[in-house]
Structure 1
């Protein structure tokens, strides 16, 4: 499955922070990295763990959103 990974520089934390917007039941940001590449690698690991845990527990996975769904204006 393909989920969104949002990586943003945090002046406050002096690192890149990672958000997984489809996973609303997880504290956000969910991980970080000193470099963009490190943040992406950490995000992929967290995403794999979240999916694996949900499947092991018989919990439904969130539906992946399209780019347009993230930017819909109400």
Structure 2
């Protein structure tokens, strides 16, 4: 289980829920409902981390605290 912050919101432009992992730059996913978006971001985070390791790039440690306030 990843311990990175996930931001979940509705996008009128995409007509979908969007989930972002801001500690992993560019790591985003979407879904027709909140549950799907959350499942998809877990897959995206796993891919992001695996790919960064394959390329020898650093993987940030989760901060474990809220990054932003809405």
Q: TM-score range by the shorter chain?
A: 0.7 to 0.9
Pick aligned residue for 2:50 from 31, 52, 58: 52
CA RMSD in angstroms, aligned pairs only = 1.9
Segments of 5+ residues of structure 1 without an aligned counterpart are none
Runs of 4+ in 1 over 6 A off after TM superposition: none
The two structures have a TM-score, normalised by structure 1, of: 0.76
Q: Structure 2 regions of 5+ residues with no counterpart?
A: none
Larger Rg: 1
With structure 2 as the length reference, what TM-score do the two structures score? Answer: 0.80
Deviation per residue, 1:12-35 (Å, 9 max, x gap)? 3221011110022x2x6x220001
Deviations 1:21-73 (A, max 9, x none): 0022x2x6x220001110001000000001111111211102312324x148x
